[in-house]
Amino acid sequence: MLNSADEMWKTGSDVPEIGCFTVQQINNEFEIQWRVYSNEQSEEMTTATFKDLSFLPEMASKRYELGMLIFTIIYAYGNEMLNAIPGPREAMQEANHYYGIAQKWEQWAIVETGWFL
């Protein structure tokens, strides 16, 4: 279903029924393009820099959209690990790694602009 969650920052991710994103470094900034899949699919990708998403109040709704998209993708990857590994203890250890990362993206998505200062 997914490429490795650790590799998705280099390659981006495209998950059917969830969405897609790519990350590109331009000079000293990270430009992110993304699209959330829904019933009324748009062909256009939303584009913003990570810096703008983190610090500009007018980008709060876009930060929420992107953060929750990445949260959902990584959480789905954790669920995939949980189902793929036979031993329950080992499966939870591996899945918890991804659940923790997903939780950080969720926090980034919902925190008030400027909190990052």
70 occurs within a structural domain: yes
Listed in sequence order, the residues at least 6 apart from 1 whose beta carbon sits closer than 8 Å to its beta carbon are: 15, 76, 77, 80
45 occurs within a structural domain: yes
Q: What is the pLDDT at residue 87?
A: 86
88 occurs within a structural domain: yes
If one compares 103 and 16, the residue with the highest pLDDT of the two is 103
Q: What is the pLDDT at residue 43?
A: 74
Taking the mean position of all CA atoms in its chain, how far away is CA 47? 14
Residue 17 tokens read as 């029924």
Q: What is the pLDDT at residue 81?
A: 87
pTM score, two decimals? 0.82
User: Does position 117 have pLDDT exceeding 70, yes or no?
Assistant: no
What is the tally of structural domains in the chain? 1
28 occurs within a structural domain: yes
Mean pLDDT for all residues in the chain: 85
1 occurs within a structural domain: no
Residue 94's SS3 state is: helix
116 occurs within a structural domain: no
Q: What mean pLDDT comes out for the span 17-34?
A: 90
CA gap 46, 82 in Å, rounded: 31
Share of the chain above pLDDT 70, in %: 82
115 occurs within a structural domain: no
What domain range includes position 27?
Answer: 8-50+57-110
